Amino acid sequence: MRKRERLERALAGEAVDRVPAALWRHFPGDDQRYTDLARSIIDFQHDYNWDFVRAMPSRSFLVSDYGVSDAWRGDARGIREINKRIVRRSLDWTGLRPLTPDRGALAQQVECLRLVDKALQSDNTPLVQTIYSPLVQAAQLAGRQKLLRDLRLRPDRLRSGLTQLTESTMRFVAALAKLDSLAGIFLVTEFANHEIMSEAEYTSIALPHIRNILAALPRHWWLNMVQVAGASPMLGLIDELPIQALNWDVRAAGIALEDARNTFSSAICGGLSDDDLLLGTPSLLRSSVQETSRHCKSRRLIISGGGCGFVTTPLSNIRALRSAVESES
Distance CA 229, CA 307 (A): 8
Distance CA 68, CA 84 (A): 5
- 183-240 pLDDT, tens digit each: 999 999 999 999 999 999 999 999 999 999 999 999 999 999 999 998 899 999 999 9
At residue 329, the pLDDT reads 60
The pLDDT-based confidence of 253 (bands split at 50, 70, 90) is low
At residue 280, the pLDDT reads 95
At residue 328, the pLDDT reads 67
Pairing of strands 81-84, 69-71: antiparallel
Q: Record the pTM.
A: 0.95
> Is the pLDDT assigned to residue 298 strictly greater than 70?
no
DSSP class of residue 221 equals -
Distance CA 137, CA 144 (A): 10
> Is the pLDDT assigned to residue 252 strictly greater than 80?
no
Higher-confidence position of 250 and 179: 179
> Is the pLDDT assigned to residue 78 strictly greater than 70?
yes
At residue 178, the pLDDT reads 85
Show Cβ contacts of residue 97 under 8 Å, excluding neighbours closer than 6 positions.
Answer: 164
Show Cβ contacts of residue 290 under 8 Å, excluding neighbours closer than 6 positions.
Answer: 324, 327, 328
At residue 294, the pLDDT reads 81
Q: Are 54 and 186 in contact (CB under 8 A)?
A: yes
Q: Are 41 and 53 in contact (CB under 8 A)?
A: yes
> Is the pLDDT assigned to residue 295 strictly greater than 80?
no
| Cα distance from N-terminal residue to C-terminal residue, the chain | 11
Distance CA 237, CA 225 (A): 14
Q: Are 6 and 315 in contact (CB under 8 A)?
A: no
The pLDDT-based confidence of 251 (bands split at 50, 70, 90) is confident
Three-state secondary-structure class, residue 111:
helix
Distance CA 81, CA 73 (A): 7
> Is the pLDDT assigned to residue 244 strictly greater than 70?
yes
Distance CA 211, CA 257 (A): 26
Among 264, 242, 150, 164, smallest CA distance to 197 is for 150
> Is the pLDDT assigned to residue 148 strictly greater than 80?
yes
DSSP class of residue 313 equals -
Among 247, 231, 238, smallest CA distance to 52 is for 247
Among 199, 206, 197, 203, smallest CA distance to 159 is for 206
The per-residue DSSP string of 234-276 comes to -HHHHHTSS-SEEE--HHHHT--HHHHHHH-SSEEEEES-HHH
Q: What is the mean pLDDT of the chain?
A: 94
At residue 122, the pLDDT reads 87
> Is the pLDDT assigned to residue 66 strictly greater than 80?
yes
